[in-house]
A and B are shown apart, each in its own frame.
Chain A
Amino acid sequence: MTATDVETKGPAAKSRGATPLQRAQHILHEHSWVSPLVLLVLSIVVFTILNPAFAQPRAISLLLQQTAVIAALAVGQTLIIITGGIDLSVGAAAILACMSSALLAANGVLPAPAAILVGVLIGAICGLLNGLLVSRVKLPPFIVTLGTLSVFTAITLMLTGGSTVQGDEMPSWMTAAGERVPLFGLDLNVGIIVVALIYVAVGYALGFTAWGRRVFAVGDAPEAARLAGISVSRVLVSVYLVAGVIYGIAAWVLIGRAGAASPNGVVDANLASITAVVIGGTSLFGGRGGVVGTVLGALIVQSFAIGLTLVGLDDEYRVLAVGILVIAAVAADQWIRKVRS
């Protein structure tokens, strides 16, 4: 047996002579959701010790209710970041879908279910536009979505004049996502269940279908994907389109959560969704990550918000903590990626 044989037997042999730190690095590298899971468990334990109310069903229900919309938007963001892109228009697209469907339903132009579908369709068109500009016109995703962020916001303001559509102006279907669903002793709602289904569907597609493999390959090594006969631009368009559909569904969840449709509904959606994705262990360089980490990331951010409030600290401490967390998460990602060499 030559030296090469010994060196290259695979992970098992590799970790045999490794330090515990290297072994940890290897596990984190293989499974990007491990670090956010550890962080979430830690934050739950710490906050529960500080204030036992944190572990009560009421606080947990609130955590899930508050996380749902951002968690949904973050699924689309995850897909796009895996391809090596970024979506700054996520909030603007969701609000455009949200306001259009609310106005259509409130003015009686369309019955509520059709108005909801139109909202999803508008989300899809927003995603498709981003996708075509990124893949066919070959512009950087950062610039494309920075531009469409303004475009979508402007269209929303033109449509609404900046005013809110109240819940009682719309048919009840429009706010149905906020309907309570008591489950496992928790106070859930329809929106949470819809978001959970989005996670299951996208998690399955990413992990168990050829499309998922291609999405990762396109983000990781676009040239290799092309040489393997994959149409990189088709994969990119499909990713932005799926993200747009998810934004459209999230728009309906948002109306249910807020009980109204407001042009200022998710002002912090861009940063919040990117934060959830990054804390969730998906690499901004593309090719690595997944939606399991993202939901954990979104829950971590929200658990900080609730936990710090219960402890009696003001919101600026949450903002501070999330900022530090994002930088720490990206630094951790850099360190984990070093396992390659």
Chain B
Amino acid sequence: MTDTLQKRPVLSARGLRKTFGKVVGLRGVDLDVYPGEVLAIIGDNGAGKSTLIQCLTGALVPDEGTLELDGKQVSFKRPQDAKDVGIETVYQSLAMSPALDIASNMFLGREIRRPGPLGSVLRLLDTKSMRQKSMEAVQQLGIRTIQNPGQRVETLSGGQRQAIAVARAAAFGSKLVVLDEPTAALGVRESGLVIDAIKALRDRGLPVILISHNMPHVWEIADRIHIQRLGGSAGVITPSSHDMTEGVAIMTGAKTL
């Protein structure tokens, strides 16, 4: 995507720095996410991928540096702050309650109540509309194997659960969806389900940050690839400018940009 350079970034981070005691997690990292792109973040263990993501989603507060969302400066003290402005995160560990059904999980923490006194006085949940909206969100991502939003999550496969998590993020993330190793715990066929969901997400124009160790997945769906190395940024490449071997070489320090 060459035209992204002319667009204004949705999220823009400058000089992010985070230390844990004497350990430097991030040493001044810049990052831009443009509208409608999939930005992958790759890097070796300990390169600062997770720290970077946590600073972008409010799970960690950076020591230094600025964050701009749509050109306006923001700062997140808690994950809820990032959620409130439309940044949704899908975590590696399946952030689902297995005993609850799909719709209840989708709307966990932001349940919809019935209109009128039934909702305002009796606090009655609008189960029907939550189930309907859950199905819409799932179908928009092309997940065809889920048909009953009243089904308990524990009866779903790992891939289906992760796909629901992506659908939930897509339904509520108005600005940006962040995926932290979404396929790490999944088999090949299961990963396919999640990858398709991410593609559907991108096709709807929502920008996506994807952290992954799986290089074929990254080269399959990323528009640009941000490489983290030793707490700093080693550069940004695209799947067409560099092949997988070169990417890994930059990641491990065997080659520099």
List residues of A whose CB falls within 8 A of some B CB. Answer: 2, 4-5, 7-12, 14, 30, 204-205, 208-211, 213-214, 216-217, 220-221, 223-225, 227-230, 287-288, 339-340
Partner of A14 from B97, B125, B144, B155 at Cβ < 8 Å: B155
**Measured CA separation A216–B145 after assembly (Å):** 26
Partner of A227 from B95, B145, B151, B159 at Cβ < 8 Å: B95
Contact A217 B151 (CB under 8 A): no
Contact A340 B98 (CB under 8 A): yes
B110–chain A nearest beta-carbon distance, Å: 7
Q: Say whether chain B's binding surface is mostly helix, strand, loop, or mixed.
A: loop
**Measured CA separation A216–B94 after assembly (Å):** 17
Contact A287 B97 (CB under 8 A): yes
Residues of A near B110 (CB, < 8 A) are 229
Contact B97 A288 (CB under 8 A): no
B83 an interface residue at 8 Å Cβ cutoff? yes
Residue of A nearest to B147 (CB): A10
Q: In the complex where A8-B156, A10-B147, A210-B111 touch, is A228 in contact with B95 (Cβ < 8 A)?
A: yes
- 23 A-B pairs with CB atoms under 8 Å apart are A4-B159, A5-B145, A8-B160, A10-B148, A205-B123, A208-B124, A209-B124, A210-B123, A210-B125, A216-B97, A216-B99, A216-B100, A217-B108, A220-B97, A223-B93, A224-B94, A224-B96, A224-B105, A227-B79, A229-B110, A287-B97, A288-B99, A339-B154
Contact A4 B108 (CB under 8 A): no
Contact B108 A230 (CB under 8 A): yes
Q: In the complex where A4-B157, A10-B148 touch, is A225 in contact with B108 (Cβ < 8 A)?
A: yes
B45 an interface residue at 8 Å Cβ cutoff? no
B interface residues, how many (CB within 8 angstroms): 41
**Measured CA separation A217–B122 after assembly (Å):** 21
Contact A208 B99 (CB under 8 A): no
Q: In the complex where A10-B147, A211-B123 touch, is A220 in contact with B99 (Cβ < 8 A)?
A: yes
Contact A10 B108 (CB under 8 A): no
Contact A10 B155 (CB under 8 A): yes
Contact A220 B98 (CB under 8 A): yes
B104 an interface residue at 8 Å Cβ cutoff? yes
**Measured CA separation A294–B154 after assembly (Å):** 24
Contact B91 A227 (CB under 8 A): yes
Q: In the complex where A11-B155, A209-B125, A213-B104 touch, is A224 in contact with B80 (Cβ < 8 A)?
A: no
**Measured CA separation A216–B154 after assembly (Å):** 14
**Measured CA separation A223–B94 after assembly (Å):** 10
Instruction: Tell me the B127-179 residues at the A interface (CB within 8 Å).
Output: 127, 144-148, 151-152, 154-157, 159-160
List residues of B whose CB falls within 8 A of some A CB. Answer: 79-80, 83, 89, 91, 93-100, 104-105, 108-111, 113, 122-125, 127, 144-148, 151-152, 154-157, 159-160, 189-190, 193
Q: In the complex where A213-B108, A213-B125, A340-B154 touch, is A8 in contact with B145 (Cβ < 8 A)?
A: yes
Contact A11 B99 (CB under 8 A): no
Residue of A nearest to B110 (CB): A229
Contact A221 B96 (CB under 8 A): yes
**Measured CA separation A205–B157 after assembly (Å):** 30
A85–chain B nearest beta-carbon distance, Å: 16
B139–chain A nearest beta-carbon distance, Å: 15
B36–chain A nearest beta-carbon distance, Å: 26
Residue of A nearest to B94 (CB): A224
Residue of A nearest to B90 (CB): A227
Residues of B near A8 (CB, < 8 A) are 145-146, 156-157, 160
**Measured CA separation A229–B151 after assembly (Å):** 23
B27–chain A nearest beta-carbon distance, Å: 28
Contact A4 B97 (CB under 8 A): no
Partner of A4 from B109, B122, B148, B189 at Cβ < 8 Å: B189
**Measured CA separation A340–B96 after assembly (Å):** 14
Contact B100 A217 (CB under 8 A): yes
Residues of B near A205 (CB, < 8 A) are 123
Given A10-B155, A216-B99, A224-B95, 14 additional A-B pairs, CB 8 A? A4-B193, A8-B156, A9-B147, A11-B148, A205-B123, A214-B108, A217-B104, A217-B108, A221-B99, A224-B94, A228-B95, A228-B108, A229-B83, A229-B110
Residues of B near A30 (CB, < 8 A) are 152
Q: In the complex where A8-B160, A11-B155, A340-B154 touch, is A287 in contact with B109 (Cβ < 8 A)?
A: no
Residue of B nearest to A30 (CB): B152
Most A CB within 10 A of own CB, among B94, B97, B109, B124: B97
Contact A2 B109 (CB under 8 A): no
Residue of A nearest to B118 (CB): A208
Residues of B near A12 (CB, < 8 A) are 148
A-B pairs, top 5 by smallest CB distance, nearest first, are A210-B111, A228-B109, A229-B109, A228-B108, A220-B99
Residues of A near B91 (CB, < 8 A) are 227
